[in-house]
Amino acid sequence: MKRFIAAILLLFSCFPFTCLRGQSTIDEIIAIVGKEIIMRSDLEAEYANYAAQYSTMDNEDETRCLIFEQLLKQKLYQHQADVDSIVISDQEVDARVTYQINYWLAQVGGNTKIIEDAYHKTMDEIKKDMREIIRNQMIAERIQQDITSNVTITPSEVKRFYDRIPYDSLPTVEPSYEYGHIVKMPPVNDEEIAAIKNRLMEYRERVLRGEKFSMLARLYSDDPGSASKGGELGFVERGALYPEFEAVAFNLKSGEISQVVQTKAGYHIIQMIERRGDKVNVAHILLQPKPSADEQVKAIEYLDSVRQVIIDQKMDFSKAAMQFSDDMNKNSGGWCVNPYNNSYKFEKDYIDASTFATLGKLIPGEYSQPVAYVNEDGKMSYRIIYLKSKVAAHKPNLKEDYDLIKGAALEEKKQGMMEKWLVNKVKITNIKINENYRNCPFVQKWNIPE
């Protein structure tokens, strides 16, 4: 959780921010880039972001200059966007903000309070502050993509990059695991589904008779992210929720309670709290049908027999997953994908505790016994886990970590091209630096005129 909170805070401080010396309360222009200006207050604001995260600063002068350099780069990107008529629409920005917020919420079980406490702001205030930051990020990404889109790297360049790094300077690659699973989802009988629907309709009637929707959500909802908040989801835009859920939610009137709605997550009743244009704030009560004990036993027995067949017949894991698994990832061979880096490798910190406990008992090439599993939609399932590889902590090498090293080499090559672009851009752009801020190394490196 600490690592995730740090990642959240870093969005609002995309560079190593601090502030320049000189604590005068009078604001002033410290740089002009084309039509863009940088104020001392801009720098001071970034310092506040940095100071909120780090209690110590080793070299304040050096860090101040890094801040200033990054702010100038940002203004150069904005200036180039004006020249190239690059426009980032409000819809694009809002979509990125929504995606980012939803991603954060998924990591903290939908608990908005964790994020609000990290920023000491409400969610609406966080979103408002994010928009300008996200827009600037998207402009920078668009410019950098245009400049580096054709950059490629050869195997010989990767090797040269690796060979020139002193061994002692190589970072340690954390232990990692590659694994896949074969999942069996026990069916839910019609009686259980009918009982779930009846319970939801009973809750709906109780609210209509005067009970508080929020209290029933706290007591009975199966959604851990919203139950503690009375079922409230907060303001969301279209595209953030299940389509079936949205189709009903966006058509409710204030205070109205829906009939039972089915989604992949289970069954819901929804109450409209407030609508603002294309955004709605609704509360819901989610009930998830659970398979009977008999069906759960059958799922375990099924996976036991599948495991034995695979071992006896020495079946390829991916073929077995395609044949036996109920999970959608069987279409990609049954391998589990790390959502943080879109690779098949997981470091310990990115593996949930129950999965890690199972992996810890396996050696590469082994299958686990059937274990309980709750899938991404919150449905009770069972699975057997196959451990493909387990790599201990080590210094990176070209055999085991080629893709990692290639990515670093390619990034360095792109950064070199961006530095050349910046130096050339400075030559043809009107840039003025306040004389009190010209002692930073990048001013001389970029050869910015006085």
**Residue spans of alpha helices (H) in 288-381:** 293-313, 317-324, 353-359
Tell me the residue length of the chain: 450
Q: Give the three-class secondary structure for 345.
A: coil
Given a contact cutoff of 8 angstroms between Cβ atoms, the answer to whether 314 and 173 are in contact is no
Order of strands, edge to edge, in the sheet holding 346-347? 346-347, 176-184, 380-391, 371-374
Q: Give the span between the Cα atoms of 219 and 371, in whole angstroms.
A: 28
Domain 176-187+292-391 fold is: Chitinase A; domain 3 (3.10.50)
Ranges under pLDDT 50 in the chain: 2-10, 13-24
Given a contact cutoff of 8 angstroms between Cβ atoms, the answer to whether 433 and 413 are in contact is no
The per-residue pLDDT for 277 is 80
**Domain residue extents for the chain:** 2-154+403-445, 176-187+292-391, 190-287
Long-range CB contact pairs, 135-139, < 8 A, 24+:
135/88, 135/93, 136/74, 136/77, 136/78, 137/14, 138/88, 138/92, 138/93, 138/96, 139/77, 139/78, 139/81, 139/86, 139/88
> How many CA within 13 A on the CB side of residue 333?
13
Q: For the domain with range 190-287, which CATH number is right: 2.160.20.10, 3.60.20.30, 3.10.50.40, 1.10.10.60?
A: 3.10.50.40
Residue 389, beta-bridge partner list: 178
The predicted model scores a pTM of 0.56
Q: What's CA 165's distance to the chain center, in Å?
A: 31
Q: Provide CB contacts within 8 A for 241, sequence distance 6+.
A: 233, 249
For 107-125, letters b (16+ CB in 10 Å) and e give bbebbbebbeebbeeebee
The rounded mean pLDDT for the chain is 85
Given a contact cutoff of 8 angstroms between Cβ atoms, the answer to whether 179 and 321 are in contact is no
Q: Do domains 2-154+403-445 and 176-187+292-391 have the same CATH topology?
A: no
Order of strands, edge to edge, in the sheet holding 29-33? 36-39, 29-33, 431-433
**Backbone phi, then psi, for 334, in 5-degree steps?**
85, 0
Given a contact cutoff of 8 angstroms between Cβ atoms, the answer to whether 181 and 325 are in contact is yes
Q: Phi-psi region for residue 388, left (φ > 0), alpha (ψ -120 to 50) or beta? A: alpha
Identify which of 428, 426, 431, 420 has the alpha carbon closest to the alpha carbon of residue 144: 420
The per-residue pLDDT for 54 is 62
Q: What CA–CA distances, in Å, run from 307 to 181, 386, 390?
A: 11, 10, 21
Q: Give the span between the Cα atoms of 443 and 450, in whole angstroms.
A: 10
Provide the token pair at 242: 């299940």
The per-residue pLDDT for 19 is 33
Q: Give the span between the Cα atoms of 273 and 253, in whole angstroms.
A: 8
The per-residue pLDDT for 56 is 55
Q: Give the span between the Cα atoms of 259 and 441, in whole angstroms.
A: 65
With 0-12 / 13-18 / 19 or more C-beta atoms within 10 angstroms meaning exposed / middle / buried, residue 94 is middle
Q: Give the span between the Cα atoms of 74 and 212, in whole angstroms.
A: 50
Given a contact cutoff of 8 angstroms between Cβ atoms, the answer to whether 111 and 73 are in contact is no
CATH code for the domain defined by 2-154+403-445: 1.10.4030.10
